[in-house]
Amino acid sequence: MATAPTLEQALTDQAAQRDAHLIEWLRIPSVSADPTHRGDIQRAAQWAMQRLVQLGLKAELIETSGNPLVFAETPPVPGGKRVLVYGHYDVQPADPLHLWNSPPFEPAFVDGNIVARGATDDKGQLLTHIEGLAAWLATGRTLPVQVKFLIEGEEEVGSDGLEQWLPQHAEKVACDVVVISDNSQFADGQPAITYGLRGIVAFELFVEGPASDLHSGVFGGAVLNPALALSRILASFHGPDGRIAIPGFYDSVRALSPQEREQISQLAVDEGQLCRQLGVSELFGEPGYSVLERRWARPTLDVNGLTSGYQGTGSKTIIPAVASAKFTIRLVPEQQPEEIAKRVERHISAVAPPAVRWRLERGHGAPGMLARIDSPSIAAASRAIERAFGKRPVLIREGGSIPIVARFQEVLGADCLLLGWGLDDDRAHAPNEKFRLADFHRGTRASAFLWEELGNVC
């Protein structure tokens, strides 16, 4: 009878097989936005469940109002931590197809990367946790924590099924910490743990003037131009220095602690390089904060789209009947979407000229997230990542929003560890999406070490 391998041996032994699993899963075009892929959605969910069953987990498909959830768990560990791994098996549409260098659902190896839709977002990153567990289980040792998997199929289309299911099944997925790998390292060669996300609240503002477009010669001077009125309102959202000028907007925003500012300032940002990357001559934002602080830890307001009047070539001399703007506010975790929406509405009431009508429509909203950075879980994850990547991860926040993270915190009372194995240039949501194979394997090792490290902190 052969001796059971060590964890290191198992991780090495399983490498080729791990690639094969990744390829198999990526071949299934589980595009959630396109109803013609409904069968593929089912196949991708089945694939994940079968893989977890292979590992000996108790696994099931759970029907929801939308696409099924995959749930699986290892046996409870008395006195041990419970970890919930969350991820998604659905992928973005592959369009525009002609911009792909190889077919999106025929995974290709290019320059040390695997290129396919879903490679980094999220099949490849999620699979590291399944494969990390596989290596652990191959050692024959007892897993020191209980690992649960909750894998959904609607992340790219709003997570409705999971959102409805979660509050009624909090006990089933109860855990001490949620682990998610669906984002990026800080930089190439610098792994990170993300402990904070911004929230979001989306709006569309319509400013209405005359009942129909008017001739700007005949009626110019008679009525207030809705596009000009909209511009005035939008311009009133900020002071000229870039600070948001909506009254009370910063009331609930906590000042960044000197420690956190110090920690963020340690992270090198080459502003010249960032300007070149973004194609701007200078960076801009709220005064008194560094660009990382502004992107991660300060609220911002951005217009996402403007629409009014004539948009074709040449000119059409009209006073447009309507002008509208889509805009989103990124919130710090202390700010609640409801509260901010009220302040925005009140501000517009105060500044909108009476000669036009206006209407503010609310879009989606989700609060931000901020995990304790001195928690034993973060310390354990940090050690696991350092062992796998050979470099201590930095602690970062991110400017984006992951609504389900706030829901986990609210419903389960559990902090989330966002362990991104991807890179900023992985082209998630774009043609030629990729995931570096070295990061796929390092992520798997970090995951395997994580179960061990989390066991040590109990």
Check binding of 36 to a second copy (CB under 8 A): no
Q: Which stretch binds a second copy (CB under 8 A): 165-173, 219-227, 245-253, 376-384?
A: 219-227
Active-site pick, 73, 121, 122, 155: 155
- Pattern 325-344, a second copy, x by CB under 8 A: xx-x-x--------------
What does the alpha-carbon distance between residue 168 and residue 278 come to, in Å, rounded to a whole number? 44
Check binding of 16 to a second copy (CB under 8 A): no
Output 126 or 331, the one with its CB closest to a second copy. 331
Helix (H) or strand (E) holding 183, with range, is none
Q: Which stretch binds a second copy (CB under 8 A): 47-55, 172-180, 287-295, 433-441?
A: 287-295
| Contact in structure between 287 and 192 (CB atoms under 8 Å) | no
What does the alpha-carbon distance between residue 350 and residue 439 come to, in Å, rounded to a whole number? 52
Active site residue 155: yes
Pick from 403, 342, 340: nearest CA to 199: 403
Check binding of 205 to a second copy (CB under 8 A): no
Give every CB contact of residue 396 below 8 A, 6+ residues apart in sequence: 186, 192, 193, 194, 195, 196, 267, 296
Check binding of 128 to a second copy (CB under 8 A): no
Q: Which stretch binds a second copy (CB under 8 A): 116-124, 130-138, 279-287, 378-386?
A: 279-287
Give every CB contact of residue 171 below 8 A, 6+ residues apart in sequence: none
| Contact in structure between 403 and 450 (CB atoms under 8 Å) | no
Active site residue 90: yes
Give every CB contact of residue 449 below 8 A, 6+ residues apart in sequence: 7, 132, 383, 384, 385, 387, 388
Chain residues 257-276 in contact with a second copy, contact rule CB under 8 A: 274
Check binding of 227 to a second copy (CB under 8 A): yes
Check binding of 13 to a second copy (CB under 8 A): no
Active-site pick, 40, 73, 90, 176: 90
Chain residues 296-315 in contact with a second copy, contact rule CB under 8 A: 298, 300-311, 314-315
The least CB distance from residue 222 to a second copy, in Å, is 5
Chain residues 354-383 in contact with a second copy, contact rule CB under 8 A: 354-357, 363-364
Output 133 or 325, the one with its CB closest to a second copy. 325
- List Cβ<8 Å contacts ≥24 apart for 339-345: 339/252, 340/201, 340/249, 341/201, 341/203, 341/365, 343/246, 343/247, 343/248, 343/249, 344/203, 344/246
Output 102 or 277, the one with its CB closest to a second copy. 277
The least CB distance from residue 281 to a second copy, in Å, is 7
Out of 4, 53, 110, 235, which residue is the one contacting a second copy (CB under 8 A)?
A: 235
Task: Output phi, psi for 47, to 5 deg.
Answer: -60, -45
What is the maximal distance between C-alpha atoms in the chain? 95
Check binding of 350 to a second copy (CB under 8 A): no
Residues β-bridged to residue 151: 70, 87
Check binding of 255 to a second copy (CB under 8 A): no
Output 85 or 369, the one with its CB closest to a second copy. 369
What does the alpha-carbon distance between residue 153 and residue 87 come to, in Å, rounded to a whole number? 9
Out of 12, 231, 252, 375, which residue is the one contacting a second copy (CB under 8 A)?
A: 231
Residues assigned a catalytic role: 90, 155
